[in-house]
Chains A and B, each alone.
Chain A
Amino acid sequence: IAGITQAPTSQILAAGRRMTLRCTQDMRHNAMYWYRQDLGLGLRLIHYSNTAGTTGKGEVPDGYSVSRANTDDFPLTLASAVPSQTSVYFCASSDTDRVTEQFFGPGTRLTVL
């Protein structure tokens, strides 16, 4: 049982390039989330999806897009990366039919130069 997997583990990217961070869960959770974590700012929600086919904006959505074509996958795309998007990105999922915790993936460390 993998839980949540993210790829890549880390990436160095030139500014202006397009990048997609992948997230897959095998727990059949209906809701999925993308957070970024920056020193001194904690975890901030970028985008979320309550169910396949729907997405919503979080606290810091600008510069990012997501899609949720099926239950298991929730990719995060940076259309044109900028240095301020250097961060650690965490994907999470939860079963919103019950009041339960969110489960987190191992994270992707992204550096934009």
Chain B
Amino acid sequence: EDKVVQSPLSLVVHEGDTVTLNCSYEVTNFRSLLWYKQEKKAPTFLFMLTSSGIEKKSGRLSSILDKKELFSILNITATQTGDSAIYLCAVTAGANSKLTFGKGITLSVRP
């Protein structure tokens, strides 16, 4: 059974801090790992990672995948209150496109 574990489950930081969110996985025939941000409604896509060691970057957010150690991290630098959200990690495996999600990390950024 495919498994995705995120840590920590929740995190409270102050504006300006840097945070690292973790995602480890156990899947057969790994295909891709995705990060989503969820505020009040639907998850919105952040990154998709398929290759080890290649950092994806968007503004203050960046992510990298380690396929040997089976994990990914999502970094957020100079956090802002607008970064407060649930961050979801998901993987796809095999020939199908189904996503297996972790439970999510609730990030709260205090002013």
Known contacts A42-B88, A50-B96; is-contact A103 B101 (Cβ 8 Å): no
Chain B count of residues within 8 A CB distance of the other chain: 23
Mask, B30-43, CB within 8 Å of A = 1, is: 01101010000111
Query: CB distance B88 to A107 under 8 Å?
Result: no
- A42 cross-chain contacts in B, Cβ below 8 A: 88, 101-104
- Pick from B96, B97, B103: contact of A102, CB below 8 A: B97
Asked if A44 lies at the interface with its beta carbon under 8 angstroms from chain B, I say yes
Asked if A1 lies at the interface with its beta carbon under 8 angstroms from chain B, I say no
B42, B96, B99, B100 interface centre (most CB from chain A within 10 Å): B42
Asked if A84 lies at the interface with its beta carbon under 8 angstroms from chain B, I say no
Query: CB distance A43 to B88 under 8 Å?
Result: yes
Q: Which stretch, A14-22, A62-70, A75-83, A92-100, touches the partner chain B?
A: A92-100
CA–CA, A44 and B102, complex, Å: 9
Known contacts A42-B103, A100-B48, A101-B48; is-contact A94 B42 (Cβ 8 Å): no
Mask, A47-58, CB within 8 Å of B = 1, is: 010100000001
B31, B96, B101 interface centre (most CB from chain A within 10 Å): B101
In angstroms, how far is the closest chain B Cβ from the Cβ of A4?
8
- B43 cross-chain contacts in A, Cβ below 8 A: 43, 90, 104
CA–CA, A102 and B88, complex, Å: 13
- A40 cross-chain contacts in B, Cβ below 8 A: 103
Query: CB distance B98 to A90 under 8 Å?
Result: no
- A41 cross-chain contacts in B, Cβ below 8 A: 103
Q: A35-B101, A102-B99 are in contact. List 13 more A-B contacts (CB 8 A).
A: A31-B97, A42-B103, A42-B104, A43-B43, A43-B88, A43-B90, A45-B98, A90-B42, A99-B32, A100-B48, A101-B45, A102-B97, A105-B42
Query: CB distance A50 to B88 under 8 Å?
Result: no
In angstroms, how far is the closest chain A Cβ from the Cβ of B79?
23
Q: 5 shortest A-B CB distances, which residue pairs? A: A104-B42, A42-B103, A43-B101, A101-B45, A96-B97
